[in-house]
Amino acid sequence: MVDENIVYILVVVSTALLSFISFIISWIKNPDLFSPVKVFVIFNVFFYLDIYINSYNYYVVITYFIQCLLLLVLAFVEKPLSCQEVVIKKDINIKVIIVIWVVSIISIVNQIAIIVELGGVLNYIGNIAYRVEYFKGKGYVIVLNNLISIMNVLYFSYLLRSKNINKKHWLIFIAHFVVFVGIAMFSGSRSFLLMTILVEVIIYHYMFKRLTVIKMAPFVVFIIFMVALLGGLRNSVTISEGTVSVSGGSVKMESRHFKYGLIPLEIIYEASISELSYGMTYASLFTNFIPRKIYPDKLDTGGIVFTKVYTGDQWGGLSNLATGAITEGIINYGLPLGFVIGFLTLLVFLLLGIKIYSKLPEMLTKRNNYAYVVLYIYMLLAFSRYSYSEFTYTFYTYVLYYLVPVMFVIIMSRFTLLKAHKVN
């Protein structure tokens, strides 16, 4: 009889081999460093890395194995871009810059108002861990706060695609970036800062100069370090009566992000499946756009349902666990149907990412190419995160945080009352 431990180790090793082979096949077929399958594989390894360090339920390991196998299939499906991307550059239009700054000021004022409401900077920092509770029913506050992020990305993209750019333009952008970093540090969200920087790196890759693995290696190390450091700071630093202190006397590096995708799977496979939602967590995408003051009984998202039912509302509403694609399918339709539906939704979005990628050369020739490439990258990252995130949060944030603000800038820069002129 084959030792169960040997079988377990073989399956885990197989997942590593599948990920490696998927990346290599994608690299051979398509040398673009940020092609969809490569990004999917990186996310699928990073947020599940703990599976190679600690032991997990067999069902968790098998589920992850299937995800890796799915990416291997997609590596054969993915095709290189049909033609070399050519970025169409145009003269800089001051109206676009003005609109970006006006929207950014709204975000800055919003951040200042939050700090004042919470009693100052120290009290604000001390309550970062409870931001979910504070923002409950105040979704507009989060949306306004995130405007600075998408505006900085859009600003960067616009300068890269514009002609007649000088040092003055870049110095003003750097000032905007510094403000963004300040607000990002106050937010308590690692993704707010680091995902924005990642998006700007990818924009540089497509809009200005192709990056290589060697050039990206230091950045990858930096991202991993900062994710661990910022998570440790958020969990270790406390403020009481105006005094800043560190729990345990030192900051411990956070490693929880290496198992974001594994936590919900481990919980659901060890639980008794009950209170099925029958698709309501997916439908919550539509009700989530309605303010809670108008519709207080709007549908709960997958993360809220999962946390309430399968963790006993462990954090009392102060925090919620993301479900991941597979777990969300299971809490809606049970086993085995929910398992299949979870994988089908994941497959659909990954294929959609590959399809949209094929349109990238065309996007870069459009008048608003600076905006289209931004929306494409955020969409690709949304699909990449879907396996460990949740349906409603993934696409609700895409619409409100990225799509709407970008479209607003495009429209207002066309119809603003300001007189259009070129800046030399």
Residue 131 has a pLDDT of 57
d(CA 166, CA 164) in angstroms, rounded, equals 7
- Tens of pLDDT, residue by residue over 78-109, are 999 876 667 778 888 899 999 999 999 999 99
Whether residue 139 sits in one domain with residue 97: yes
- Are 218 and 128 part of one and the same domain? yes
DSSP H stretches of helix in 30-80: 36-46, 58-77
Same domain, 97 and 230: yes
Tally the domains of the chain.
2
Does 420 score more than 50 pLDDT? no
Q: Are residues 137 and 181 in the same domain?
A: yes
What pLDDT is recorded for position 424?
41
Quickly state the pLDDT bin for 150 (edges 50, 70, 90).
very high
Structure tokens at 286: 């539509």
Query: What pLDDT band is residue 23 in, cutting at 50, 70 and 90?
Result: very high
Are 96 and 413 in contact by the 8 Å Cβ rule? The answer is yes
Backbone φ and ψ for 163, nearest 5 degrees, come out as: -90, 170
Q: Which residues contact 396 (CB under 8 A, 6 or more apart)?
A: 285, 288, 289
Last residue of a domain, one of 52, 77, 102: 77
Averaged pLDDT score across all residues of the chain: 85
pLDDT for position 111: 87
359 falls within a domain: no
Convert the pLDDT of each residue in 158-214 to its tens digit: 999 998 889 999 999 999 999 999 888 877 677 788 899 999 999 999 998 888 888
Range of the domain at 10: 4-77
Residue where a domain stops, chosen among 77, 102, 120: 77
Q: Are residues 27 and 114 in the same domain?
A: no
Q: How far apart are CA 140 and CA 119, in angstroms?
A: 20
For 17, half-sphere exposure in the C-beta direction (CA atoms, 13 angstrom radius) is 6
Q: Indicate whether 51 belongs to any domain.
A: yes
Using alpha carbons, list the distances in angstroms from residue 396 to 31, 305, 325: 32, 17, 15
pLDDT of residue 396: 93
**Residues 6 or more apart whose Cβ sits within 8 Å of residue 77:** 351, 354
Instruction: Give 235's contacts (C-beta < 8 A, 6+ positions apart).
Output: 129, 247, 252, 254
Name residue 239's beta-bridge partners.
Answer: 244
Task: Render pLDDT for 255-297 as a digit per residue (tens, 0 to 9).
Answer: 678 899 999 999 999 988 878 999 999 999 999 888 877 888 8
Show which of 77, 105, 139 is a domain's final residue.
77
Q: What are all long-range contacts of 404-408, with beta carbons under 8 Å and residues at least 24 apart?
A: 405/103, 405/147, 405/150, 405/151, 405/154, 406/150, 406/154, 406/371, 406/374, 406/375, 408/99, 408/103
* Confidence tier at 151 by pLDDT (50, 70, 90): very high
Q: pLDDT confidence of 219, banded at 50, 70, 90?
A: confident
174 in a structural domain: yes
Between residues 124 and 370, the one the model is more confident about: 370
222 with 125, same domain?
yes
| 187 and 105 housed in the same domain | yes
User: Is residue 282 included in any domain, yes or no?
Assistant: no
- Based on the domain organization, do 32 and 123 belong to the same domain? no
Residue among 311, 230, 309, 224 at smallest CA distance from 263: 311
More confident residue, 129 or 225: 225
Q: Which amino acid is at 336?
A: P
Backbone angles phi, psi at 300, to 5 degrees: -80, 145
Residues 342-365: tens digit of each pLDDT: 999 999 999 999 999 999 999 988
Judge whether 283 lies within some domain: no
* Lookup: tokens for 407: 């479209």
